[in-house]
Amino acid sequence: MKKILVVESSPLAEASVSRRLTKDVVAALLVEHPGSEVATRDLAARPLPHLSAEALSAFAAAPEARSPAQREAARASEEAAAELLAADVVVIGAPMWNFGVPSALKAWIDHVVRAGKTFSYSAQGPKGLAAGRRAIVASASGGIYSEGPGEAMDFHAAYLRAVLAFIGISDVSVVRAEGLAIPGVQETAYEKARGMVAAAAR
């Protein structure tokens, strides 16, 4: 039994390909780990605020020294980071937007990548504190970025891998539905990605 955290970021509902893929990934994870708990954080339905000056000052202060306003400003981040650290597997629904991730997902990253919580600095450099977890990214894009000329423009999967590795999660599988805007590719893009789901969940 595992604890699975699903992070959704597409504002589209039924029409979202990344949401379809996260559902497929969760179904495959439940086959591998029956009875697992699934929690969902929907960043489109409940967006996190951008980090404020108050939140940053709260992060810099010891928890017991925070003012009520600082505690309130840090609350979203405390909750999101705790939720991430409570999970064994994180499934991230990630549409590609302008070669990167939607700002709703970036805001979540800004809230969960926290010094002292999910990473620390030492004389040896940064250390990820979220090790032992794995992540599966369900990516959707209009173009193709896993190979060919688009590869150099992939600030999406490559970025997610880098930031997850920074907090210690280096076991990352990326399932890509790509070429969703390319005639001749789009017709089979989702099915092709779905074919990768079982292996990613294993």
Ligand X SMILES: Cc1cc2nc3c(=O)[nH]c(=O)nc-3n(C[C@H](O)[C@H](O)[C@H](O)COP(=O)(O)O)c2cc1C
Chain residues binding ligand X by CB under 6 A are 10, 12, 16-19, 95-99, 140-143, 180
Residues contacting residue 106 through CB under 8 Å, at least 6 positions apart: 100
Number of helices (H), then strands (E), belonging to the chain: the values are 6, 7
Angle at CA of residue 103, ends 97 and 109, nearest 5°: 115
**Minimum CB distance to ligand X, residue 7 (Å):** 13
Q: Which helix (H) or strand (E) holds 9?
A: none
CB-nearer residue toward ligand X: 95 or 128: 95
Min separation Cβ 4 and ligand X, Å: 19
Tokens 């605020």: give the residue: 49
Q: What is the spatial distance between Cα 151 and Cα 160, in angstroms, rounded to a whole number? A: 15
Q: Which is nearer to ligand X, 81 or 197 (CB)?
A: 197
Give the SS3 label for residue 21.
helix
d(CA 48, CA 184): 37
Q: How far is the CB of 30 from ligand X (least distance, A)?
A: 21
* C-beta nearest to ligand X: residue: 95
Q: Which is nearer to ligand X, 166 or 190 (CB)?
A: 190
Task: Write phi, then psi, for 169 (nearest 5 degrees).
Answer: -95, 95
**Closest CB 16 distance from ligand X, rounded Å:** 4
- Local structure of residue 11 (DSSP, 8 states): S
CB of 9 to ligand X, least distance (A): 8
Terminal C-alpha separation, the chain = 13
CB of 119 to ligand X, least distance (A): 28
User: Of 99 and 166, which CB lies nearer to ligand X in the complex structure?
Assistant: 99
DSSP 8-state secondary structure symbol assigned to residue 146: S
Nearer CB in complex with ligand X: 22/77: 22
Nearer to ligand X (CB atom), residue 48 or residue 189 = 189
